[in-house]
Structure 1
Amino acid sequence: MPDYRWSYYLTAPWELVDEWYRAVKFGIRNLFQWFPVVWADRHYTSWGMFNVIRHKLVLMQRELSRNPYYVGAERDLHLMHICELLIERYFADKYSERCFKRHEEKWGEMRDFWEPSYDHETGDIDPNYCMSFTDWPNAPTPKLEGKAWKEMRACFDHERKLADQDIQYLFKLLSKHYRRW
């Protein structure tokens, strides 16, 4: 509480009691509202940061839809909802479905398998050390297999670019409108 208001509270002490009551009431409410979000947060992932932003946007939307106290509140509600959808889409992580579906239609389902390592000098098989191999049914030659790998990497790059695009748009909206929200 600012010190310059104490003279006001000397003439109206019930206002001080009312402010303290509201501070405690809303503080306890905030503890209950934020506890699940804080409890699930891990400091080594970006998921926690986006979950905090999403939860804050949901609470702000709830309050603003209940009491739209300024002109442009409906537009801000819409923009907050877009931000929430972007975060939900980032959490769903389904950016690669179409790309990998096309890849699977073209090359078949990717097969991963492990084989024991073979020592060329002694001719022995080392059962403690295995090598990973990947192939596709429609890529029988090494040249076609290289082409399938190249297309698979392109799918991974496409997936990363789509996720980055959503996050850039989210932060663009947040940086543009944070003063009004």
Structure 2
Amino acid sequence: MSNIYYSIKNGVTNLIKWFPVIWTDRDYDNAYLYKLLWKKLQNMANMQRREGHSTNSEEIAEQIEYAANLAHRLWKNNYLEETLNKYDYYTKYPAIDANEIMHVADQPNKDGNYDVTQSINTIQLKLFRQCGTEADDLFEEEHKQLFDYLKRYSESWWD
């Protein structure tokens, strides 16, 4: 009987805990995968801190939390913004928002194509592209780091 009670209690608790994440989940972007992974890792780290029976439960919780932080960074994907700030892009070019560097016309031209114009000078465009490349590289590096870390440590998080 206590098994049924535990199953129902645990199931309802999971529904409540996961509802906001599942409700906003979408299948068209990898960010949602990282959000799910982040939530799961956070839950696991909290469980290790609350109920861990190992002598190194706190260390395990910290390892899991490290992976959760990487998943959170991948989910939020602020790498371009971080890189632009690193190079003081907004200080050097305060008048132009990074999202407005390329302007795509609202209506197609006579050939049926959408005209794309650049609203910045070549030096600014070069810096923006450099930041974009660096942001992509950082994302890939942290993506690899997360999954290599999980591969290396996740099996040791349970007795």
- Per the alignment, residue 178 of structure 1 pairs with 154
Q: Which segment drifts farther, 104-113 or 159-168?
A: 104-113
Shift in Å, 1:90: 2.5
Match of 2:26 among 26, 42, 47: 42
Match of 1:81 among 57, 60, 65: 65
Match of 2:40 among 53, 56, 73: 56
Is 2:103–2:118's contact at 8 Å kept on the other side of the alignment?
A: yes
Is 1:64–1:77's contact at 8 Å kept on the other side of the alignment?
A: yes
Residues 1-181 of structure 1: pairs in structure 2 closer than 5 A: 17-97=1-81, 99-101=83-85, 102=87, 103=89, 109-110=95-96, 131-136=115-120, 139=121, 145=122, 148-181=124-157
The structure-2 alpha-carbon separation of the partners of 1:179 and 1:105, relative to structure 1 and needing over 3 Å to count, comes to: same
Is 1:112–1:134's contact at 8 Å kept on the other side of the alignment?
A: yes
Instruction: Considering fraction of residues, name the structure with more strand.
Output: 1
Higher relative contact order (CA 8 A, sep 6+): 2
Alpha-carbon distance between aligned partners in 1 of 2:103 and 2:21, rounded to the nearest angstrom: 40
Where does structure 2 lack aligned partners over 5 or more consecutive residues?
A: none
| Secondary structure at 2:52 match in 1 | coil
Shift in Å, 1:149: 3.4
Larger Rg: 1
TM (normalized to structure 2)? 0.74
Where does structure 1 lack aligned partners over 5 or more consecutive residues?
A: 1-16, 116-125, 140-144
The percent identity for this pair of structures is 21
Q: Which segment drifts farther, 64-73 or 86-95?
A: 86-95
Give RMSD over aligned pairs.
Answer: 2.9
Is 1:114–1:133's contact at 8 Å kept on the other side of the alignment?
A: yes
TM (normalized to structure 1)? 0.66
C-alpha deviations, 1:114-136, integer Å up to 9, x for none? Answer: 89xxxxxxxxxx7x987332243
The structure-2 alpha-carbon separation of the partners of 1:135 and 1:38, relative to structure 1 and needing over 3 Å to count, comes to: closer
| Secondary structure at 1:179 match in 2 | helix
Alpha-carbon distance between aligned partners in 2 of 1:114 and 1:178, rounded to the nearest angstrom: 45
- Per the alignment, residue 5 of structure 1 pairs with none
